[in-house]
Amino acid sequence: MIRTVIGAALLLAGCLVFIISLIGVFRFRYVLNRIHAASLSDTLGTLLVIAGLIVLKGFCFTSLKYLLMLVVLWITAPVATNRIGKAEATTNLSIHDEYEVEK
Amino acid sequence: MMDLVYPVVLTIMALCIIACLVYAAMGRRFTDKIVAANLVCTFTVNIICVLAAYKLEDYVLDIAFLFALLSFLSVQILCRVVVLHHKGRLRHLKEKHPEESAQEILDRLEREEEDRHR
């Protein structure tokens, strides 16, 4: 019973993080600010959701698969965000009006 | 209790995906749309994981795994295409107007982009 409650709470916390990151994506003005909010759901939201599923499932082969999923997402998502930031910094010509960029 | 929690979680994530699509349509720059695509892929992977637990079908997780790798690849390729398009445009303008300095060509490109967004 207590495992179910903890798992459900983690799942709902993950959903809350998703909603907060979406609010951030809509509130910020520029892309480099927006990827900061978007990467929140990539890492923290996914961690909470998958941790909730692992707690619900208990220790078995499926939970190991969930763990592998988390590892893959944690490796790939920040790299993808970094690439988006690089592409934005390369292609945006008015970047010095929008942010303070170190030369 | 979990019969209630799973549908609620899935509904919230589906609404998040719809909000991402709205953001992709509203976003001014092309990188906005790449960010939206990345977010949609993250939500989809999470939805597949929750569905695997909800329906007790473990093999669905392998599909989620593939989806995560493909979403990573798609974002990488889209970023590469955007950067290459920008560089090609710069080179084209340099060949078309060889007498202009680098700053003038950048200004010209910026004006072109503003016209496109208008």
The domain spans of chain B are 2-117
Q: What is the 3-state secondary structure (H, E, C) of A21-64?
A: HHHHHHHCCCHHHHHHHHHHHHHHHHHHHHHHHHHHHCCCHHHH
Q: Which residues contact B17 (CB under 8 A, 6 or more apart)?
A: B40, B43, B44, B47
Residue A46: its pLDDT value, please?
94
**pLDDT-derived band of residue B49, with 50, 70 and 90 as boundaries?**
very high
Task: Write out the two tokens for B110.
Answer: 């910026």
Contact assignment for A57 to B12 by CB distance below 8 Å = no
The Cα of B97 is separated from the nearest Cα of chain A by a number of Å equal to 19
Residue-wise pLDDT tens digits, B54-101: 998 889 999 999 999 999 999 999 999 999 998 888 888 888 887 777
The Cα of A74 is separated from the nearest Cα of chain B by a number of Å equal to 11
**pLDDT-derived band of residue B118, with 50, 70 and 90 as boundaries?**
low
Architecture of domain B2-117: Orthogonal Bundle (1.10)
Q: Which of A15, A49, A83 sits opposite B75 (nearest CB)?
A: A83
Please determine, for residue B29, whether its predicted confidence score (pLDDT) is greater than 80.
yes
Contact assignment for A19 to B16 by CB distance below 8 Å = yes
Whole-number Å distance between alpha carbons of B8 and A88: 36
Contact assignment for B13 to A92 by CB distance below 8 Å = no
Residues of A whose CB is below 8 A from B16: 18-19, 22
Write down the domain spans for chain A.
2-87
Residue-wise pLDDT tens digits, A63-76: 999 999 999 999 99
Residue-wise pLDDT tens digits, A45-59: 999 999 999 999 888
The Cα of B96 is separated from the nearest Cα of chain A by a number of Å equal to 19
Across B40-44, average pLDDT: 94
Contact assignment for A31 to B32 by CB distance below 8 Å = yes
Contact assignment for A42 to B23 by CB distance below 8 Å = no
Helices B60-96 and A61-91 cross at an angle (nearest 10°) of 10
Q: Which residues contact B88 (CB under 8 A, 6 or more apart)?
A: none
pTM of the model: 0.89
Which residue of chain B is at minimal alpha-carbon distance from A64?
B61
Residues in chain B: 118
Q: How distant, in Å, are the alpha carbons of A31, A81, B35 from that of A75? A: 22, 11, 17
Of B40, B47, B72, which to mutate for an interface test with A (greatest number of A Cβ within 10 Å)? B72
Residue B92: its pLDDT value, please?
87
**How crowded is the C-beta side of A3, counted as CA atoms within 13 Å?**
7
Residue-wise pLDDT tens digits, B102-114: 777 777 777 777 7
Tell me which of B46 and A102 has the higher pLDDT: B46
